[in-house]
């Protein structure tokens, strides 16, 4: 059906997709205007879980805001921890020890894989396949066991600190991570044989749910959504931070711009994250895990500071304005899911409702990241 389809005004009805619906993964609500099974208009309705994180930042000291970062995108909380730590470290000119940087990369990439595992299982479940959810959550549990041993948490991590990390990784963690890397590489082969080559999945995703590069630029979409449209951009490579420029890894890019392309980007990213972790463990240096000269009272100099990282869902930017006090004057969060969600209204126009559910799942949205 043509995306420019015009709805006959006397033959329309409105359907609410969510906010309590399994396919909306939380409390997203899409107000759909339908002509039979075809979507003529889709309006994302936001705000059901808005928690005012930016306002909270103005009422907490700089360190006290750290736990909030793990509650934005709770599936890739360590990337948000990392961005906030890097932002304040840049403001204070703190040099993070080498070993701490390596630990940050290892744990953040493990968290990225765990995030993709949740997306994978839930996405295929949206399409009617239950079994893959059991496999993916089994793999995710292996990662969470490793991360819990060093961070003390399994979901909303608040592990990093200004100047490094509070807990070092030990030989058991390294051995467990190496075992997981070997296991996961074999599991990916199984996933491709079981799911990727399944004719039902192919028919549900291939040539359906087009989000071209122009649309990504229009809405500011990033991450796998943009890379699935042929945009070769990843903050880790294009704007290197931490020690990512020391590792060899590829940025998966597909040009088909359909739901299958976004699926394949994430599957390939899992292998690239394993590659990064393997290199980081092989070259892990000895030494301290916290910087020596971290002020006990965090008061960044007056100024405007910005830092960005690549999360499992795209580019996360944080802008902090400091007035020299112990409390941020302003903290602006540019989260990837907000832009990626707004693209849905235009991308699903003219689609069948069932295909729109597949398109929505291919965006991999975390709603608290939208309603921040």
Q: Quick one: pLDDT band at residue 1, thresholds 50, 70, 90?
A: very low
- Taking 60 as the threshold, does the pLDDT of residue 4 lie above it? no
Least Cα distance to 361 among 93, 63, 36, 133 occurs for 133
**Residues across the chain:** 372
Model pLDDT, residue 23: 78
- Taking 70 as the threshold, does the pLDDT of residue 5 lie above it? no
Structure tokens at 318: 């944080």
Average pLDDT over every residue of 343-348: 94
Model pLDDT, residue 346: 94
- Taking 80 as the threshold, does the pLDDT of residue 3 lie above it? no
Q: How far apart are CA 167 and CA 359, in angstroms?
A: 40
- The pLDDT tens digits of the residues spanning 128-143 come to 999 999 999 999 999 9
- The pLDDT tens digits of the residues spanning 256-309 come to 999 999 999 999 999 999 999 999 999 999 999 999 989 999 999 999 999 999
Least Cα distance to 311 among 253, 369, 232 occurs for 369
Q: How far apart are CA 87 and CA 91, in angstroms?
A: 6
Average pLDDT over every residue of 34-38: 91
Q: Quick one: pLDDT band at residue 117, thresholds 50, 70, 90?
A: very high
Model pLDDT, residue 9: 57
Q: How far apart are CA 196 and CA 225, in angstroms?
A: 18
Fold assignment, 9-370? Cytochrome-c3 Hydrogenase; chain B (1.10.645)
Model pLDDT, residue 27: 84
264 three-class SS: helix
- The pLDDT tens digits of the residues spanning 83-98 come to 999 999 999 999 999 9
pTM of this structure = 0.95
Q: Quick one: pLDDT band at residue 25, thresholds 50, 70, 90?
A: confident
- The pLDDT tens digits of the residues spanning 49-75 come to 888 999 999 999 999 999 999 999 999
Q: Which DSSP category does 193 fall into?
A: I
Mean pLDDT score across all residues of the chain? 94
Model pLDDT, residue 47: 87
Q: Which DSSP category does 283 fall into?
A: T
Alpha helices in 199-335 (DSSP H): 199-205, 213-219, 224-227, 235-238, 259-282
Average pLDDT over every residue of 172-201: 97
Contact 244, 105 (CB under 8 A): yes
Task: Tell me the angle at which helices 353-362 and 98-126 cross, rounded to the nearest 10 degrees.
Answer: 170
Model pLDDT, residue 6: 59
Residue with tokens 């020596």: 292
- Taking 80 as the threshold, does the pLDDT of residue 249 lie above it? yes
């Amino acid at each position: 059906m043509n995306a420019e389809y015009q709805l006959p005004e006397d033959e329309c009805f409105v359907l609410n997709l969510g906010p309590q619906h399994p396919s909306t993964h939380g409390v997203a609500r899409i107000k759909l205007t339908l002509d039979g099974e075809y979507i003529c208009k889709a309006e994302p309705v936001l705000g059901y879980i808005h928690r005012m994180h930016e306002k909270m930042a103005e009422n907490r000291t700089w360190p006290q805001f750290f736990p909030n970062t793990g509650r934005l995108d709770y599936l890739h909380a360590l990337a948000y921890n990392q961005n906030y730590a890097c932002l304040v470290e840049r403001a204070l000119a703190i040099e993070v020890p080498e070993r701490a940087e390596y630990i940050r990369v290892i744990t953040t990439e493990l968290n990225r894989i765990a995030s993709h595992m949740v997306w994978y299982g839930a996405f295929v479940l949206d399409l009617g396949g239950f079994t893959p959810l059991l496999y993916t959550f089994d793999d995710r549990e292996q990662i969470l066991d490793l991360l819990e041993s060093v961070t003390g948490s399994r979901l909303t991590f608040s592990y990093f600190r200004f100047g490094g990390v509070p807990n070092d990784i030990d030989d058991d963690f390294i051995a467990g991570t190496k075992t997981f890397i070997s296991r996961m590489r074999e599991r990916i082969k199984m996933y491709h044989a079981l799911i990727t080559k399944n004719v039902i999945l192919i028919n549900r995703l291939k040539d359906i749910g087009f989000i071209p590069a122009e649309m990504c630029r229009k809405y500011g979409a990033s991450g796998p959504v943009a890379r699935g449209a042929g945009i070769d951009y990843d903050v880790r490579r294009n704007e290197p931070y931490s020690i990512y420029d020391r590792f060899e890894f590829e940025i998966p890019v597909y040009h088909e711009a359909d739901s299958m392309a976004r699926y394949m980007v994430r599957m390939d990213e899992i292998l690239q994250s394993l590659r990064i972790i393997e290199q980081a463990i092989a070259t892990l240096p000895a030494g301290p895990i916290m910087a020596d000269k971290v002020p006990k009272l965090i008061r960044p100099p007056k100024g405007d500071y910005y830092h960005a990282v690549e999360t499992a869902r795209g580019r996360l930017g944080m802008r902090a304005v400091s007035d020299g006090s112990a409390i941020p004057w302003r903290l602006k969060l540019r989260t990837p899911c907000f832009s990626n969600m707004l693209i849905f209204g235009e991308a699903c126009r003219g689609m069948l409702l069932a295909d729109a559910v597949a398109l929505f799942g291919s965006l991999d949205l975390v709603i608290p990241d939208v309603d921040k």
